[in-house]
């Protein structure tokens, strides 16, 4: 790994690294906060997945997670949202597709399939790198995210319930198969056969039998994407009659921004810390 930056914060280390990715076929960047407790013992890992147009830097600079992560002894890993570079496919006029819009899936359609393998990157390659290079207790992992990253966190947890102790989301896209800002990307990445899309849709996964013990979702009522893009009530309907517990909190006046995320970041970190033991 190449160290791009390294700073002390709240007694721990906030760093940014780059590395050559086999999964994505390019150089990938991620941020990690290592709490002071890691100098003495392995610490649990919490994955944060960012939303459309974001990089690792958005939550690192605006998420306000370090103070409490240091107190609770949590390693926070913040990957980028897609492969990037001049040779990586992109749609310059469409922010919902291409670089910055990986949707945490493994694309099967050209030209995306060669690089857009974010599901494999997040679930296999990057965890191996974290386990090798940081004092991480990989038996205690949690995952959360925002918007597209909330979609990623929820689908990854549903598909890997044995790996993660907890999952939460800020304003997640719970049904990308029916949401305005994701249908086009799924068709480009996965083809026109919508049965292939179901493996990356939280509502469809639950309908198809996937299970995870419980979810925490925070959603702002003033979010401009609520009605056509996010639709948390669809996931609420999907888990009815299952053994999946859902805490869905709807907040007056809050929008889709990091002002919203930073307001409830402590709640989510404490939620994960309790379940990580």
> Helix count (H) and strand count (E) of the chain?
9, 9
Element (H, E) at 39: none
Residues 6+ apart with CB under 8 A from 233: none
Q: End-to-end distance of the chain based on CA atoms, in angstroms?
A: 30
Q: Write the CB contacts of 148 (distance below 8 Å, at least 6 apart in sequence).
A: 49, 50, 51, 52, 81, 101, 103, 104, 173, 182
Q: Which residue is catalytic, options 166, 175, 223, 272?
A: 223
Note if 139 is an active site residue. Answer: no
Q: What are phi and psi of 9, to 5 degrees?
A: -150, 125
Tokens of 162: 């044995």
Give the span between the Cα atoms of 41 and 163, in whole angstroms. 20
Residues near 37 by beta carbon (within 8 Å), at least 6 away in sequence = 43, 73
| Three-state DSSP state, 256 | coil
Q: Give the three-state DSSP class for 8.
A: strand
Out of 147, 166, 175, 182, the active site residue is: 147
Strand order from edge to edge, sheet including 75-79: 2-9, 12-21, 26-34, 75-79, 43-49, 136-146, 164-170, 214-220, 245-251
Question: Catalytic: 147?
Answer: yes
Give 86-122 as a DSSP string. Answer: TTS---TT-TTSBTTB-TT-B--STTGGGT-BHHHII
Its sign, for the CA torsion 234, 237, 243, 249, is: positive
Q: Is 56 a catalytic residue?
A: no
What residues act catalytically?
Answer: 147, 223, 256
């Amino acid at each position: 790994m190449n160290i791009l930056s390294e700073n002390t914060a709240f007694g721990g280390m906030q760093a940014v690294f780059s590395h050559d990715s086999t999964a994505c076929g390019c150089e990938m960047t991620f941020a990690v906060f290592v709490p002071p407790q890691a100098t003495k013992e392995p610490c649990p890992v919490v994955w944060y997945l960012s939303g459309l147009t974001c990089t690792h830097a958005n939550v690192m600079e605006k998420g306000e997670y370090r103070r409490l992560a240091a107190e609770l002894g949590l390693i926070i890993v913040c990957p980028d949202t897609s492969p990037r570079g001049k040779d990586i496919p992109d749609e310059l006029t469409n922010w919902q597709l291409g670089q910055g819009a990986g949707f945490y899936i493994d694309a099967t359609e050209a030209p995306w399939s060669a690089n857009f393998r974010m599901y494999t990157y997040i679930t296999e390659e990057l965890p191996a790198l974290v386990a090798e290079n940081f004092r991480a207790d990989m038996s205690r992992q949690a995952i959360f995210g925002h918007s597209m990253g909330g979609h990623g966190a929820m689908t990854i947890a549903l598909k890997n319930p044995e790996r993660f102790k907890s999952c939460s989301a800020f304003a997640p896209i719970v049904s990308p198969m029916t949401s305005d800002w994701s249908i086009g990307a799924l068709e480009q990445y996965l083809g026109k056969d919508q049965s292939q899309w179901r493996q990356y849709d939280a509502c469809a996964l639950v309908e198809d039998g996937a299970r995870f013990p419980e979810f925490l979702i925070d959603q702002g009522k003033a979010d401009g994407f609520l009605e056509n893009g996010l639709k948390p009530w669809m996931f609420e309907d999907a888990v009815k009659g299952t053994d999946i517990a859902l805490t869905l909190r709807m907040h007056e006046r809050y929008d889709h921004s990091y002002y919203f995320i930073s307001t409830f970041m402590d709640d989510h970190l404490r939620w994960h810390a309790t379940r990580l033991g």
